């Protein structure tokens, strides 16, 4: 593929400066993660101004270089800009957590298409009016764990779910049911407890909990409890 021009849909995961006028943009595509150099991205007359931003889905054309090298972005057209995220700071924080999780966990190759669909679906849900952010956080992490082959083994009757090997985490039956379907309950102590429980599972199997998750929980928990979510 090196030396050829390729075209794909891609979700913008990261943007970092490359020079005074250029960016390196990391994308997630149905084939996995790739990084492109966008030369002259911030020049006043640049073709790329306003064509990409974090959380955008774009149709990109890039000049493919050898594996592991930065590709050269040739064209970029926004397909879904998700403008609703700009007016909901907490949803924007949660979108950052979703992108970080996909960046860290999602594979390349044929299996990446399911992760691309996962990220697209949950970013769209955050753009809906008054999204239930804790429920979306929990549902996303459960779906991500399933795609990673780490689906928690749930026993709703006994109120436990299994970790690796023979270890398990005791939880209430209500929490276990919430972990089976995060959208079944309104805000109560059940939903935050379920979020904390899956955080333990996440840390145990993936060996870390992203800082973005802690920031999200701090930002949205109190707001949702008051019922004044923005």
Q: How confident is the model at residue 203 (pLDDT cuts 50, 70, 90)?
A: confident
Which one has a higher pLDDT value, 189 or 116? 116
Is the predicted pLDDT of residue 228 greater than 50, yes or no? no
SS (H, E, C) the chain: CCCCEEEEEEEEEEEEECCCCCEEEEEEECCEEEEEEECCCCCCCCCCCCCCCCCCEEEEEEECCCCCCCEEEEEEEEEECCHHHHHCHHHHHHHHHHHHHHHHHCCCCCCHHHHHHHHHHHHHHHCCCCCCHHHHHHHHHHHHHHHCCCCCEEECCCCEEECCCCCEEECCHHHHHHHHCHHHCCCCCHHHHHHHHHHHHHHHHHCCCCHHHHHHHHHHHHHHHHCCCC
Domain 5-81 superfamily per CATH: Nucleic acid-binding proteins (2.40.50.140)
Measured between its terminal Cα atoms, the distance across the chain in Å is: 46
* Tokens 């795609």 belong to residue: 147
Question: Average pLDDT of the chain?
Answer: 87
Is the predicted pLDDT of residue 115 greater than 50, yes or no? yes
* Structure confidence at residue 230 (pLDDT): 42
Query: For residue range 38-64, what is the model confidence (pLDDT) as tens digits?
Result: 999 989 889 999 999 999 999 999 998
> What percent of the chain clears pLDDT 70, i.e. is strictly above it?
86
* Structure confidence at residue 65 (pLDDT): 83
Is the predicted pLDDT of residue 149 greater than 60, yes or no? yes
Return d(Cα 34, Cα 67) in angstroms, integer: 10
Residue 7 forms beta bridges with which residues?
61
Q: How confident is the model at residue 31 (pLDDT cuts 50, 70, 90)?
A: very high
Return d(Cα 2, Cα 56) in angstroms, integer: 26
* Structure confidence at residue 184 (pLDDT): 80
**Residue extents of the structural domains in the chain:** 5-81, 84-226
Is the predicted pLDDT of residue 98 greater than 80, yes or no? yes
* Structure confidence at residue 175 (pLDDT): 85
Is the predicted pLDDT of residue 201 greater than 90, yes or no? no
Residue 63 forms beta bridges with which residues?
5, 72
The pTM for the full model equals 0.89
Return d(Cα 192, Cα 178) in angstroms, integer: 10
Q: How confident is the model at residue 3 (pLDDT cuts 50, 70, 90)?
A: low
Is the predicted pLDDT of residue 164 greater than 50, yes or no? yes
Two tokens at 28? Answer: 């997630």
Q: How confident is the model at residue 229 (pLDDT cuts 50, 70, 90)?
A: very low
Two tokens at 97? Answer: 């957590």
């Amino acid at each position: 593929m090196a030396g050829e021009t390729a075209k794909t849909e891609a979700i913008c995961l990261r943007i970092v400066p490359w020079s005074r006028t250029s960016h390196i943009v990391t994308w997630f595509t149905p084939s996995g993660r790739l990084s492109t150099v966008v030369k002259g991205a911030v020049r006043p007359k640049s073709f790329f101004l306003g064509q990409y931003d974090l959380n955008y889905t774009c149709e990109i054309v890039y000049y493919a270089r050898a594996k592991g090298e930065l590709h050269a972005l040739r064209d970029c057209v926004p397909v879904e800009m998700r403008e609703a995220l700009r007016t909901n700071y907490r949803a924007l924080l949660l979108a950052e957590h979703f992108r970080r999780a996909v960046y860290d966990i999602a594979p390349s190759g044929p299996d990446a298409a399911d992760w691309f669909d996962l990220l697209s679906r949950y970013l769209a849900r955050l753009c809906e009016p008054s999204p239930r952010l804790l429920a979306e956080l929990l549902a996303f992490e459960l779906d991500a764990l399933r795609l990673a082959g780490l689906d928690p083994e749930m026993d709703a009757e006994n109120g436990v779910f299994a970790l690796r090997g023979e270890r398990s985490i005791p939880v209430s039956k209500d929490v276990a049911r919430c972990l089976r379907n995060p959208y079944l309950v309104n805000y109560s102590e059940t939903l935050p407890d379920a979020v904390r429980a899956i955080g333990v599972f996440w840390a145990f199997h993936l060996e870390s909990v992203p800082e973005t998750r802690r920031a999200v929980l701090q930002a949205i928990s109190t707001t949702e409890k008051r019922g004044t979510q923005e």
